[in-house]
Structure 1
């Protein structure tokens, strides 16, 4: 444990709040500043006419990461969250132009799912066993050696299990999840491989092979749990409150939360040691917040290129010109009259040639796929408090290319008032869901509609290229090659969140918070911090 320090965290999203909680729990004086009125970042909340929408993540992946995080705060997931197990875990729709092929349900029992795959094509069950064995081995190694380290030394690589499994790890680190699964599973059993690949929401979770537990890939061994009411259910602590879970009084740990405070820059003397943060307040003034440590938990491109002088930037604009953004997204929050039994809590829609569909998002020139593979969440299937009686709450995510500033797809809006390209994507998605799911009057039953486009991600969270997740997990942007979480130019300046190590997604944000804690404590170990 280091001496008590004054720490300012820039950004009140999941990574910022998680970092603040850990550091405050260690006894530091921590202040979180956030430019928006509400905390949560991408994990926001929007309410309209009795509907309550989570605006961001809806999958509960890598539950052991959450368990470990809460243990570090002296509590538990069970104490903090009311989780509901889903069965089916998710439903997958296949085909194009209204395929007659029935949807595939992934259940809460592995043997049941193995039988489903085997019935689709003989040999698929064995292929699934083989894949999950390899994936489990790689996943366990990742958790033990690669996710909980900042790669300040070669220690992560110097172990017999890592050296023994180097070929497998190299293969996983240099290929996307979808391509790995396509080759490893589809080669012996094409139909089963396509379905297994389709059952993995890579574009929802934004995951790499070594970052996703096999229990989450097959969905089956544990039914996929989520907090009832979404991740902002008032019946339990919200993400914003998660940073205060150790005690009822947040100030007991010396914490302070400031919303509606736009960061104007960091303060550094000629010695290049951070001394504080200057914020623009809501009334147009400025205020200097002294700090021994500053943790930037906002978008890394914004932090580096907008808040630091050129000579203080570890990742200047020339770095970002070579970098690759993760996918953008068009989101639609829909309040629908009547019930939709055709949809599960989680539903995935995959076009016939889903690989070409995804490639369109990243290959040059990029384009918005039409038809597009997409994801639908219906939280009202599990919790009736997110929609008025007799209505359904529906969240739609359509992956689109990362959005350049000019031209771009633009902003969303209320009731079709967003930019035309955004509304066209949403209209096509709604029509596709209705057709494939057997709900031809879906569009006519929508009573609340709001769309969100890449430009909204820029406005709301300063997202680089309007990305929905963060920098992509390419070979040059994964593991030890991903952006470091410490400035090389300014002493005392650190980074957390999806832009930096270990990567994108809620579990990775929690781990990134722990990596900051380990740095400040001089802990260079490669695994999770012991809690007992």
Structure 2
């Protein structure tokens, strides 16, 4: 079978699925992409109503070089595809234990730290030097690998930092920060990144202090038109490269057949087939396609390879027979699904100068807050540490003139029984009560006493909606948490252990959650597939950056 005839079916048109499809099509494979919903993007979606445009998921643009690499690899550039604005300030912090809000901006954080703690700026420089070195090390050696080869980890740059690893891996981010800074707000500014990782500062390894490089060194950007513009851009790239997208086509089953020991399951013979056989000798099944259902009618779609870019728990436990599952329910029972979320989308009459584009509300007792979400006796925290986004501060297109677009995220336990949301207060009671409490908290802490009276549009989303909309495991808002046991080589692999030709991409697998991680996951999976079907293609053992940074997106 020639390369261009290799047929790949991708499940899920979130960012990872779209990116994987585009990368494979760019390299000559025939790709069909199947999405259960009519709209694309998965968690990175859009809700429009009455002149308001709400991002329904990710809202922080970080790790720009990852986007630059992806767009370069598919034949374009970030600058050609999206219009980025640098945010000043990057974000504003409202802290229960500090009466005055503080603005955080890359390049100016040392002054802020000095103002709150004697010698804080100097200590921050040392902290960020370490964060930047660790980030570069991760980007160059860990994030773009499938961990199937040991050679890349013997690089002298890694070996030279072996002495730091016990601290970075064996110490919590909370302890790492607390040892260096005493002011509670500064500790929170350096520790809140754990929430982006689906966990808490006392559960995330200190290795993740590298996240401070992203907001305090690189800075925070925003794509004009919202994050849906990223999805739209990659969708168009995929279509231009020949990807066929099937909307409203939920996959109900991955179809397999018994493996054939004398022939590669991709129809490849010779050295390529021998290589695949050597790598997959323990697999007793191979994919032959998948089955979709629409309007009660099931359809079989033949494919040589299948990439599951949707929720991995759903794929493994619902689309495969028990004996075919690499990660059965017993595996997930021992894992951490990360947090759930109550999301509150608000259209507000009049301006809200008290809020900037990104706003973080930190409660004084962080330990109790995080224990409510991740501890043994889970419950909704009250008060809660909140994230509030006001994109209308930067983008006039997301709200009618004279109005503001406000998005509140309330971290809650990953528990679908908390319920679903709805428009204008008709969601399940627990979800609506959490939304009411969050609105009142923002009003009080930010000094907007009439906030509730000025709301003209309201929609809530609860953990049960994440299950219904994107098949999210336990109703998780982000994906499996980045605890040490679920990071790097300890995270789920990007291919099935039991079925030849079945690959994975997205936040459930390596390297992790978030838009940049999903792009890297797509890169790893696409290169892994191409390494097997196109002799001579390098294995995904590290990044292949063609340029350090796309100047068009700077």
Give TM-score, length-normalised by structure 2: 0.88
Q: What's the offset of the Cα at 1:494?
A: 0.2
Residue aligning to 1:245:
237
Distance 1:197 1:253 in 2: 41
Residue aligning to 1:67:
68
Distance 1:148 1:180 in 2: 28
Distance 1:192 1:432 in 2: 18
Q: 1:328-407 residue pairs with structure 2 within 5 A? A: 328-403=340-415, 405=416
Q: What's the offset of the Cα at 1:20?
A: 0.5
User: CA offsets per residue over residues 275-325 of structure 1, 9 Å max, x none?
Assistant: 1011102x2111111111100000000000000001000000110111111
Matched, 1:138 2:134: yes
User: CA offsets per residue over residues 477-515 of structure 1, 9 Å max, x none?
Assistant: 110010011001110000000000000110000000000
Q: 1:20-99 residue pairs with structure 2 within 5 A? A: 20-95=21-96
Q: What's the offset of the Cα at 1:183?
A: 3.0
Distance 1:73 1:346 in 2: 31
Residue aligning to 2:483:
474
Counterpart among 448, 451, 457 of residue 442 in structure 1: 451
Residue aligning to 1:279:
292
Distance 2:179 2:236 in 1: 44
Q: What's the offset of the Cα at 1:195?
A: 4.5
Is the CA contact 2:116–2:183 (under 8 Å) kept in the aligned structure 1?
no
Q: 1:56-455 residue pairs with structure 2 within 5 A? A: 56-95=57-96, 101-108=99-106, 110=107, 112-175=108-171, 177=173, 179-186=174-181, 189-191=182-184, 193-197=186-190, 200-204=192-196, 206=198, 210=207, 216-217=213-214, 219-233=215-229, 238-245=230-237, 250=239, 252-271=240-259, 272-281=285-294, 283-403=295-415, 405=416, 408-455=417-464
Is the CA contact 1:206–1:505 (under 8 Å) kept in the aligned structure 2?
no
Moved more, 333-342 or 123-132: 123-132
Tell me the secondary structure at the aligned position of residue 487 of structure 1: coil
Matched, 1:457 2:466: yes
User: CA offsets per residue over residues 446-504 of structure 1, 9 Å max, x none?
Assistant: 11000000000000000001000101111211100100110011100000000000001
Distance 2:365 2:17 in 1: 39
Matched, 1:491 2:489: no
Aligned length: 510
Distance 1:243 1:184 in 2: 46
Is the CA contact 1:152–1:524 (under 8 Å) kept in the aligned structure 2?
no
Q: 1:38 to 1:340 in 2, by over 3 A?
A: same
Q: 1:489 to 1:399 in 2, by over 3 A?
A: same
User: CA offsets per residue over residues 209-248 of structure 1, 9 Å max, x none?
Assistant: 656755644x344441111121125xxxx414414327xx
Matched, 1:507 2:516: yes
Distance 1:85 1:278 in 2: 44
Distance 1:284 1:162 in 2: 54
User: CA offsets per residue over residues 314-338 of structure 1, 9 Å max, x none?
Assistant: 0001101111111111100000011
Distance 2:245 2:540 in 1: 31
Distance 1:138 1:516 in 2: 24
User: CA offsets per residue over residues 73-118 of structure 1, 9 Å max, x none?
Assistant: 121111111001110010000016xx6x11010124x2x3201211
Is the CA contact 1:471–1:498 (under 8 Å) kept in the aligned structure 2?
yes
Distance 1:396 1:212 in 2: 25
Q: What's the offset of the Cα at 1:253?
A: 2.8
Give TM-score, length-normalised by structure 1: 0.92
Distance 2:483 2:89 in 1: 32
Q: 1:183 to 1:351 in 2, by over 3 A?
A: same
